[in-house]
């Protein structure tokens, strides 16, 4: 990727964010947050997190990267929401910390075994999203993401637009899974498991 020499550090990758995907998904995210949570602090946090996820997805589609600055902002939102939205207990803290590892560590191990299976940005994005979601919703979001990515890959194979060596940007699917879990995850888990 060619970048301007004046741009350094975290900010160099932000040029990859603005796109129609980003603006459409961001608008839908804000509307969905208000519909699901009303005008509340939870809606604001969910909308901000969703906009940041759409920035990750847009950047991955456009340039094949997930900007570190956006991952850091998701981490900040996740940590602040822990103190602002929920009772601060040891159980909640353990849930959030386990959520950071439940999907990110297997993704990291998979990418160490199979070179290029996942990018570092995808792994970091899932870790910081896990801090927000907790382990159950992180696990559910990964399941949704991998199912959606698998269906997309099958469609590409059938249409002969991809082969076994083709790379598929995962951040859009991971963002979709997290977005779904943010808004409907608890209800879906209860419906499927009874808990």
Give tens-digit pLDDT for 40-90: 998 999 999 999 999 999 888 888 889 999 999 999 999 999 998 888 889
Total domain count for the chain? 1
Q: Which of 6-15, 33-42, 56-65, 105-114 has the lowest mean pLDDT?
A: 6-15
Residue 96, domain member (yes or no)? yes
- φ, ψ at 150 (rounded to 5°): -65, -45
Each residue's pLDDT tens digit, 143-177: 999 999 999 989 988 888 877 777 889 999 999 99
pLDDT at 1 over 50: no
- φ, ψ at 19 (rounded to 5°): -165, 170
Residue 5, domain member (yes or no)? no
Each residue's pLDDT tens digit, 22-53: 888 888 888 988 888 899 998 999 999 999 99
What tokens appear for 141 in the block?
A: 């979001």
Is the model's pTM score more than 0.75?
yes
Residue 9, domain member (yes or no)? no
Residue 23, domain member (yes or no)? yes
pLDDT at 2: 33
> How many Å separate Cα 178 from the centre of its chain?
5
Residue 1, domain member (yes or no)? no
Residue 127, domain member (yes or no)? yes
Give the structural domain span for 72: 14-193
Residue 6, domain member (yes or no)? no
> For residues 111 and 130, is the Cβ–Cβ distance under 8 A?
no
């Amino acid at each position: 990727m060619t970048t301007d020499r004046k741009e350094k550090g975290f900010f160099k990758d932000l040029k990859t964010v603005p796109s129609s995907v980003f603006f459409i998904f961001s608008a839908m995210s804000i509307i969905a947050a208000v519909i699901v949570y009303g005008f509340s602090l939870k809606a604001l946090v969910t909308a901000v997190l969703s906009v940041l996820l759409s920035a990750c997805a847009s950047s991955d589609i456009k340039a094949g990267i997930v900007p570190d600055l956006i991952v850091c902002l998701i981490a900040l939102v996740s940590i602040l929401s822990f103190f602002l939205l929920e009772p601060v207990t040891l159980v909640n803290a353990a849930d959030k910390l386990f959520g950071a590892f439940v999907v990110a560590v297997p993704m990291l191990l998979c990418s160490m075994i199979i070179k290029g299976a996942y990018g570092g940005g995808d792994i970091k994005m899932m870790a910081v999203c896990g801090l927000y979601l907790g382990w159950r919703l992180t696990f559910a979001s990964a399941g949704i993401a991998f199912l959606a990515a698998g269906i997309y890959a099958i469609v590409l194979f059938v249409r002969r637009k991809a082969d076994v060596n083709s790379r598929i940007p995962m951040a859009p699917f991971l963002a979709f899974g997290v977005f779904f879990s943010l808004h409907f995850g608890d209800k879906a888990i209860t419906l499927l498991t009874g808990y």
